[in-house]
Amino acid sequence: MQTATSGNDWEKSTSLQTWTYATHSSPFADSVLNPRNSILKIARAQYLSDTRLDFSLKNSDADLVLKPRLIGEVREGGSGTSSTAEGYLSQAFGRFRIRPDLTATLGRELLTWGPANFRSPSNPYYYDSGKTRPLEDVPGVDIARIDWSAGRWTSTVGFVSGGRQNDEEWRQSSLLKLAYRGNDFLVGGILSKPRNRRSFVGGYAQFSIGDAWLLYGELSSTTTSNITTTSSTLPAAARATVGTIGAAYTFEGGASLGAEYLHDGRGYSRAAQAAYFSAIEASLASSQIAVDLRRGGQSRLLGRDYLNILLQSNLQDPSTYWRVSPTVNLQDRSRQLLLYGEHSLHPRIALFGSLLWSSGGRSTEFGAVVRSTATLGLKIFLM
């Protein structure tokens, strides 16, 4: 719901929706990391209600944004039945226009850039920007920043103090971002310096060829370890190169097909990955290793080389959206397939569903923990 006014009066916008859905997960019984689901205790069934309020006020001088979330969850299986309820602020910030070319922003804000779908190597705060997880809310980082523009140039200077899901190594970090937009291209560079750590250096570029083709790439040099764990079997943090290249083609009807190749120099080589699983099988500390790996979530990758494909329908279609997205670990040949779709049943109700299917040997990345996760639910638009 939006209320428009003129002059310096505030323009208000409000959106309230509830996502209610059920999820069924099937862990691999012979998993090295989670044998017979005895370590991670993954719930077989989950029932969730995710309420999302988006509220904003805007005039010629400022934007005020508030996005609280409330999630209720019931889990069955794994370790019995349990329920939780949690509220948090996904985003909450103010943006103030000091001059036409100068703005200041303070608060919790989503800080993403670039067209990459699978992973975003040029972003130290959102390596996984959530594009492969259509059901999950992606919260912002806590930031104070100044943005300046001059013609085709834009620059950002800021300080990130943390965030709800911000990796620990990037809390208390300064940020400098510079970008240039041409007629058919965009290039940018990023420098981030966490306290007591070496700096992150990244860059990205995208090029449009006609109305159909988009070519892009991202690159970074970083010292952080990609895998969050206390295990001594994992590689120590050292400077490594992470990069992705991709291409996307948009068909006349608005559907698109894209492909991305990712190289993550922080991951294991083929031999090191085999040694990693062998060490876990022989180690009494396997439970801690598995818990740490699971805690890393889907943003954490084990290997070095990946191929991701994305085929999706027209994003502008208000009634139906679908996507098909397979991913392959090119080292161990394990695979993961994401299917997602949603369809409007009523102006205020949409049906959605997803299936995440993983395959590979028990000593492969995608064959290590969960075979499949299926979800079905409704989106109810209240305002």
Average pLDDT over residues 319-335: 96
Q: Which residue has the higher pLDDT, 168 or 16?
A: 16
Please count the other Cβ atoms lying within 10 Å of the Cβ belonging to residue 151.
8
Task: State residue 280's pLDDT score.
Answer: 77
> pLDDT grade, residue 232 (50/70/90)?
very low
pLDDT band of residue 294 (cuts 50, 70, 90) is: very low
| 39 band by pLDDT with thresholds 50, 70 and 90 | confident
Please give the helix or strand (H or E) that residue 276 lies within, else none.
Answer: helix 270-282
The pLDDT of residue 284 is above 60: no
Sequence-separated (6 or more) residues with CB below 8 Å from residue 11: 2, 3, 4, 5, 57, 58, 59
pLDDT (tens digit, 9 = 90+) per residue, 58-107? 999 999 999 999 999 999 987 789 999 999 999 999 999 999 999 999 99
Asked if the model's pLDDT at residue 119 lies above 60, the reply is yes
Q: Which amino acid is at 69?
A: R
**Residue 123 — very low, low, confident or very high, per pLDDT cuts 50/70/90?**
very high
Q: For residue 62, with 0-12 CB atoms within 10 Å meaning exposed, 13-18 middle and 19 or more buried, which class applies?
A: middle
Distance CA 355, CA 339 (A): 5
Helix, strand or coil, per DSSP, at residue 295: helix
Query: Tell me: the pLDDT tens digits for 237-270?
Result: 578 999 999 999 999 999 999 999 999 998 888 8
Least confident of 72-86, 218-232, 282-296, 346-360: 282-296
E strands within 182-297? 185-194, 200-209, 213-222, 240-250, 256-264
Amino acid residing at 7: G
- Residue 217 amino acid letter: G
Query: What is the band of 233 on the pLDDT scale with cuts at 50, 70, 90?
Result: very low
Query: Which domains does the chain carry?
Result: 2-381 (2.40.160.10)
Q: What is the chain's mean pLDDT, rounded?
A: 89
Q: For strands 102-109 and 82-99, give the pairing.
A: antiparallel
- Select, from the ranges 6-15, 38-47, 79-88, 243-252, the one with the highest average predicted confidence (pLDDT): 243-252
Read off the tokens for 269.
């080589």
Q: For residues 137 and 56, give the distance between their C-alpha atoms in angstroms, rounded to a whole number.
A: 18
- d(Cα 19, Cα 353) in Å, to the nearest integer? 11
Give the residue-averaged pLDDT of 301-326.
95
**What does pTM read for this prediction?**
0.89
CA 331 – CA 105 distance, rounded (Å):
43
Encoding tokens for residue 2? 């939006």
